[in-house]
């Protein structure tokens, strides 16, 4: 980075451990690695934190993962993530994952927040095979609103299943950001984080963030050097308070993301907002 920074918060991190990369990811991550020429490295949580420290990042949001119904692969359990967050409370905020197609989803979320002290929910509509605006899942969002936690939804295309026949059965349409416009309108008290620049629906994603005060965009999964010019315009001039730094680690390293972000032209005020101030306000840090 061109200068030292403080207060950085990465809002989109997966464990770089066997539980996620091998047990849950397995063939999906192997196939995507062949397709895109990048295979995430297995690391310990301590090694991950050393990498974050070296890049000046103070806090990160670590996700659990549960897509058992659709993928038939093991979870990265809420208990696993909670144990990590408990071990590193000054560095890591844990987000739960529940499979919305399980009858126990609402109960599981309540336990994850009340008993395990996780501080948000991550959902992946493609991998979990559900339409976010289906009213069958509204009880889950109502529970999030009751618990006063944000929800991160995957949006746009996905690394998951890329390179497999039929994309491993994943249907991209489930992560069109316009489906979240319904959720944001019907749950105005619920803070929604749309994960990743939402290609091929970038315009739709920006429209939702512009129109709905409770909708935000995390910038993970893409190097900033590939951001669409319209995304940069909205971030730097129109709604800078709606954008959040995220990497999608271990798919993308914090060092590469931050170095490429430095090359974007913007005011220092906007840079501070995106790299940490917006997340600290949203997550009540």
Q: Which of 282, 120, 146 is nearest to 214 (CA)?
A: 282
Greatest extent of the chain over all pairs of C-alpha atoms, in Å: 50
What does pTM read for this prediction?
0.95
pLDDT at position 160 is 82
- Domains defined for the chain, CATH in brackets: 8-282 (3.20.20.140)
Q: Residue 52: name the closest of 39, 40, 43, 64 by CA.
A: 43
Q: Cα–Cα distance between 152 and 124 in angstroms, integer?
A: 8
Cβ neighbour number for residue 45 with a 10 Å cutoff: 17
Q: φ and ψ at 230, to 5 degrees?
A: -65, -35
pLDDT in tens, the chain (285 residues): 444 577 899 999 999 999 999 988 877 777 767 766 777 889 999 999 999 999 999 999 999 999 999 999 999 999 999 999 999 999 999 999 999 999 999 999 999 999 999 999 999 999 999 999 999 999 999 999 999 999 999 999 988 878 888 988 999 999 999 999 999 999 999 999 999 999 999 999 999 999 999 999 999 999 999 999 999 999 999 999 999 999 999 999 999 999 999 999 999 999 999 999 999 999 999
> What percent helix, strand, coil does the chain show, rounded to 5?
50, 15, 40
Burial of 102 (C-beta count, 10 Å sphere; 0-12/13-18/19+) = middle
The H or E element containing residue 59 is strand 57-63
Query: Distance (Å, rounded) from C-alpha 82 to C-alpha 93?
Result: 9
């Amino acid at each position: 980075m061109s200068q030292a920074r403080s207060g950085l918060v990465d809002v989109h991190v997966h464990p770089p451990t066997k539980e996620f990369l091998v047990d849950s990811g397995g063939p999906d991550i192997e196939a995507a690695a062949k397709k895109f020429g990048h295979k995430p490295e297995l690391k310990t949580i301590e090694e991950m934190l050393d990498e974050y420290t070296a890049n000046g990042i103070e806090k990160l949001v670590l996700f659990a993962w549960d897509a058992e119904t659709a993928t038939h692969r093991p979870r990265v359990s809420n208990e696993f993530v909670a144990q990590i967050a408990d071990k590193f409370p000054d560095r890591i905020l844990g987000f739960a994952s529940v499979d919305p197609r399980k009858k126990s989803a609402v109960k599981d979320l309540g336990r994850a927040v009340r008993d395990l002290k996780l501080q948000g929910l991550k959902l992946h509509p493609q991998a979990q095979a559900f339409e976010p605006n289906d009213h069958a899942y509204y009880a889950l969002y109502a529970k999030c609103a009751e618990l006063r936690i944000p929800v991160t939804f995957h949006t746009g295309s996905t690394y998951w299943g890329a390179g497999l026949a039929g994309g491993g059965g994943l249907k991209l349409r489930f992560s069109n950001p316009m489906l979240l416009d319904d959720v944001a309108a019907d749950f105005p008290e619920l803070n929604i984080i749309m994960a990743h620049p939402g290609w091929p629906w970038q315009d739709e994603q920006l429209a939702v963030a512009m129109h709905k005060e409770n909708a935000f965009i995390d910038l993970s999964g893409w190097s900033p050097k590939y951001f669409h010019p319209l995304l940069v315009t909205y971030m730097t001039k129109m709604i800078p308070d709606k954008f959040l730094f995220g990497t999608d680690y271990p798919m993308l390293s914090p060092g590469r993301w931050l170095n490429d972000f430095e090359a974007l032209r913007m005011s220092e005020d906007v840079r501070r907002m995106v790299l940490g101030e917006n997340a600290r306000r949203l997550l009540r840090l």
